[in-house]
């Protein structure tokens, strides 16, 4: 990747208290050499390994150390509001844990909570600490949230042991920073309509037919697209999730409502990502009251088909890129191909929905991306937030990304999803 990406970019380099703190000096020099404007934060422990004066001299800027510094009120906000990216190198076990839990008891942890720009963390610690179940779970949490946590390197450690735990090599950290910056606004100008979650098809006032979708994948796609600069409208069935930041959320219950909500915004969208697990059947005559059990005579439910939203929008398409999801068992690829053709999509994401690998409800997912033009891409199991970024990368690569048109959403109402 061209190092030009770093030119003029504002990077907040945070150095935590590990012996690898000395390597942050070389990292700082490399970033400055390639044109980045780097500000540095050191923790009190890091300051015991490397004098802040070293960072101050090489960055040409004052180094921040404390949350309650006299000279500058609210340094956590000042530091992050001017940053294009936060790089934590080295990131200690303590720093990863605090960030995962959202603790804020010093300058570094507080600014990580305040940061709205991408965060890259380069861990360094002893191998046993990296492998500890607590840390493994913190790293998953962070990655799921979209934080780029790099893998430490194998090699000789400060403890004298050999194993995994060394700060990743400088070129690996720089590559990750550059990739993150390059992605940063690459969806700017796109208007992305995302559907998520299950639908509920009422049988009576208290009973309904639904499915096991948690909505996590759709929310992750909405969040990723918004973070990468797109305008995003998320149309969601009932989930337990909070609306992602900078996303306009519209809540619906039934397939019919979802259809209307998407249809009304379709002409506005440049890209539709249809992750919703839309119910395929609904009771033909739902009862407005509660059906008493003695009223049921054992007759099977009288069901009818719901509209196929994606297929109907596909027929109306003018310029939109269409991404569908395929919930499959059996021959995943053959079934996915059929849906790609049948619904005339640009890309279909094939998920297995049976057995231990099932995508339903899980925080992670493995998938096959099947673009209309090009080979199927097998994507390894990833947190859904990372999978969302991979999906957006692939859509950019294989979808013809349309130019924005002046149309605006017809409904600007923002509602929080229950």
> Which residue, 14 or 255, is less far from ligand CTP as judged by CB?
255
164, 126 contact by CB (below 8 A): no
Question: Which residues, numbered 327-366, are part of the site for ligand CTP (CB under 6 A)?
Answer: 327, 339
Among 124, 167, 196, 309, binds ligand CTP (CB under 6 A): 309
Among residues 211, 246, 297, 365, the one annotated as catalytic is 211
Among 119, 142, 226, 274, binds ligand CTP (CB under 6 A): 274
Whole-number minimum distance, CB 251 to ligand CTP, in Å? 17
Among 141, 190, 306, 314, binds ligand CTP (CB under 6 A): 306
> Which residue, 176 or 340, is less far from ligand CTP as judged by CB?
340
308 binds ligand CTP (CB under 6 A): yes
Give per-residue burial for 183-206: e unless 16+ CB within 10 Å, then b: bbeebeebbbbbbbbbbbbbbeee
> Which residue, 49 or 398, is less far from ligand CTP as judged by CB?
398
Distance of CA 344 to the CA centre of its chain: 26
255 binds ligand CTP (CB under 6 A): yes
* Only segment of 163-171, 173-181, 185-193, 272-280 that touches ligand CTP (CB under 6 A): 272-280
DSSP string, 221-237: HHHHHHHTT-EEEEEE-
263 binds ligand CTP (CB under 6 A): no
Among 208, 219, 325, 398, binds ligand CTP (CB under 6 A): 325
341, 326 contact by CB (below 8 A): no
211: annotated active-site residue: yes
DSSP string, 273-299: EE--B--SEEESS--SSPPPGGG--SP
162 contacts: CB under 8 Å, gap ≥ 6: 154, 155, 156
15 binds ligand CTP (CB under 6 A): no
145 contacts: CB under 8 Å, gap ≥ 6: 385
**DSSP 3-state assignment of 164?**
strand
Among 150, 225, 310, 359, binds ligand CTP (CB under 6 A): 310
Closest CA to 401 of 346, 348, 349, 350: 346
The residues assigned a catalytic role are 211
Chain residues binding ligand CTP by CB under 6 A are 255, 274, 276, 278, 280, 306, 308-310, 324-327, 339
């Amino acid at each position: 990747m061209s190092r030009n990406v770093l030119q003029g970019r504002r990077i907040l380099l945070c150095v935590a208290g590990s012996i690898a703190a000395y390597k942050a000096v070389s990292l700082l020099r490399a970033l400055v050499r390639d044109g980045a404007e780097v500000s540095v934060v050191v923790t009190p422990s890091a300051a015991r390994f490397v004098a802040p004066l070293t960072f101050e001299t090489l960055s040409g800027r004052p180094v921040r150390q404390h949350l309650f510094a006299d000279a500058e009120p609210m340094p956590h906000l000042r530091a992050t509001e001017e940053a294009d990216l936060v790089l934590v190198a080295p990131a200690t076990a303590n720093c990863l844990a605090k960030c995962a839990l959202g603790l804020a008891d010093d300058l570094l942890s507080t600014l990580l909570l305040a940061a709205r720009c991408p965060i890259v963390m380069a861990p360094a610690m002893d191998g046993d600490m990296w492998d500890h179940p607590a840390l493994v779970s913190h790293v998953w949490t962070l990655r799921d949230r979209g934080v780029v946590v790099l893998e430490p390197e194998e090699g000789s450690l400060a403890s004298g042991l050999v194993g995994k735990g060394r700060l990743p090599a400088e070129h690996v950290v720089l590559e990750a920073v550059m990739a993150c910056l390059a992605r940063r606004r690459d969806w700017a100008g796109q208007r992305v309509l995302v559907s998520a979650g299950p639908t509920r098809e009422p049988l009576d006032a208290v009973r309904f037919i639904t499915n096991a979708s948690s909505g996590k994948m759709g929310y992750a796609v909405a969040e990723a697209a918004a973070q990468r600069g797109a305008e995003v409208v998320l149309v969601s069935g009932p989930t337990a999730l909070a609306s992602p930041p900078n996303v306009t959320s519209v809540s619906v219950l039934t397939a019919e409502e979802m259809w209307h909500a998407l249809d009304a915004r379709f002409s506005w969208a440049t890209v539709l990502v249809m992750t919703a697990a839309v119910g395929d059947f609904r009771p033909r005559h739902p009862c407005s009251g509660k059906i008493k059990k003695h009223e049921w005579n054992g007759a099977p439910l009288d069901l009818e088909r719901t509209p196929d939203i994606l297929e109907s929008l596909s027929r109306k398409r003018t310029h939109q890129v269409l991404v569908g999801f395929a919930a499959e068992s059996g021959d995943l690829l053959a079934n996915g191909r059929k849906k790609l053709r049948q619904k005339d999509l640009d890309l279909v994401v094939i998920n297995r929905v049976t057995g231990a690998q099932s995508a339903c409800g899980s925080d992670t997912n493995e998938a096959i991306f099947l673009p209309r033009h090009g080979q199927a891409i097998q994507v390894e199991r990833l947190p859904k937030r990372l999978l969302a970024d991979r999906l957006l990368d692939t859509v950019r690569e294989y979808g013809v990304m349309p130019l924005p048109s002046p149309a605006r959403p017809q409904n600007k109402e923002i509602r929080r999803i229950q």
